[in-house]
Structure 1
């Protein structure tokens, strides 16, 4: 189960560095607490309003790039809402994937306390992601129909970053790499996530290292395959929860993982509800049967033994 692969893939680090530019002059000049205090003393507490070619805020957030990404394909005003909220969700997928990898790195090092912080942030980010659906509640089938044809075969099924999130949570399906066969970078990145242990794999490996009796074939299984619920893992979590002392870090880990799983389940439920609201049972844009496909996907449970163990507590 333990993997030599880093929790944050080298391709992700490389991409970040390339985006910054190897020899680029920093767009935002760092300041110290002393400099900020001196600036306030100089300005009398009023904000600085004069800058060079661009404000530091724009340089940091890259608002010029961010606000240039909204290019609707129709003249319907509702499409802008649909597009922006979809892009917001994509950013949340990236943030959640980042936090899950952060937690994995700490679990692999055996530092459960340090893993709790990124997992708690993940739960909060999932709350933000789930809240995004509220921005689409206005959309009736008639509203969606006004611009749906312009989307062609574009579908959320084709979101590579969402697949990263699913794979990191343990919902592995090699077939879902196929849409990216002609996108080498996206395919390579997803293949890496598929072939390395999921967060749930890392949690199970941690239980074994902490002395819980887990079979070798479970710990050594191919991480590219989806985890099947196992009675030994269920028993391990029952044992973890028997210790109700405040210092039981594994119990705290179990609770935050449960929260992440529950909120991810909320995301899937709200996705189904949004599709049902906007298009009913019509065929999906990406070739699936739409609502029926989503409803079937909800049968796959994240961190299954954390749920089944509760029957025996």
Structure 2
């Protein structure tokens, strides 16, 4: 007789902690009782769980992206470039992760989605306040979007505050001015709650940065990090649009939008227009 263990066996190590009667566990720390009980399908259809979890997990990633961009704003204000580059790079990877999630949702067929779509009522991703805050932080300002959140005073106030604060790009333009570039005064004193409009003085500053990238390396690196965000965000937008088109075609969205047509319009918008235009002038 042998006591040799099976090949597919991993022994419990003696120092692994197993008693959590008086100690904090992994589940306690992450409050998994709340997280894993937050899925409440309404239709009884198997695929609704997929739909819920994809959107809930996306909201967590969006929350993290907003958290990181807020840190980047502070770093740029303080001209603390290293930490700014770190968190901006992280945001890019968050958008890549979000884009990949649409691959999973794409396994939801049109026939299966129609089995529970009516149960969603008028709820829609358009109403995501995390996404709206993210867009405001990046500079896509639109006060009309606040109407969707008027029913929740706390959320409405948070979004209103973000709308009226300088975006990531606004802070970057102020940084250019502090670094000695001749930025038009109206750009430095503009109403930051309004949509950003491309400006010649900002473009000329970036042209100089790119033509003398060794001299202005930190600004050059910051610009490329911002383009990374723009690139990753646009890929996320495109995959969102295409996934919606794949599942519902050209039907209107549950929230009342034109659906794919409305999503396509976002692809023409840029957070940092001069950073794309500068390529033409090099």
Per the normalisation by structure 1, the TM-score is 0.84
Q: Structure 1 residues 219-228 or 107-116, which shifts more?
A: 107-116
Distance (whole Å) between structure 1 residues aligned to residue 28 and residue 13 of structure 2:
25
Distance (whole Å) between structure 2 residues aligned to residue 99 and residue 165 of structure 1:
10
CA contact (8 A) 1:140 1:279 kept: no
* Deviation for aligned residue 1:129: 1.2
Provide the aligned length of Structure 1 versus Structure 2: 271
Q: 1:105 aligns with which of 74, 86, 104?
A: 74
- After superposition, residues 193-204 of structure 1 pair within 5 angstroms as 193-204=162-173
- After superposition, residues 1-313 of structure 1 pair within 5 angstroms as 46-52=15-21, 55-245=24-214, 248-313=217-282
Question: Would you identify which runs of 4 or more consecutive aligned residues in structure 1 move more than 2 Å?
Answer: 43-46, 243-247
CA contact (8 A) 2:45 2:115 kept: yes
Distance (whole Å) between structure 2 residues aligned to residue 53 and residue 46 of structure 1:
17
CA deviations 1:150-205 (Å, max 9, x no partner) are 00001011000100011011000000000111110010000000000000100111
CA-atom RMSD in angstroms: 1.5
CA contact (8 A) 1:284 1:290 kept: yes
CA contact (8 A) 1:177 1:187 kept: yes
Distance 1:137 1:148, change over 3 A: same
Q: Structure 1 residues 213-222 or 294-303, which shifts more?
A: 294-303
Secondary structure of residue in 2 paired with 1:229: coil
CA deviations 1:217-243 (Å, max 9, x no partner) are 111000100110111111111111122
Distance 1:118 1:159, change over 3 A: same
* Deviation for aligned residue 1:46: 3.9
Distance (whole Å) between structure 2 residues aligned to residue 205 and residue 84 of structure 1:
40
**Structure 1, unpaired ranges of 5+:** 1-42
Secondary structure of residue in 1 paired with 2:253: coil
Distance (whole Å) between structure 1 residues aligned to residue 190 and residue 215 of structure 2:
33
**Structure 2, unpaired ranges of 5+:** 1-11
* Deviation for aligned residue 1:53: 5.6
Per the normalisation by structure 2, the TM-score is 0.93
Secondary structure of residue in 2 paired with 1:77: coil
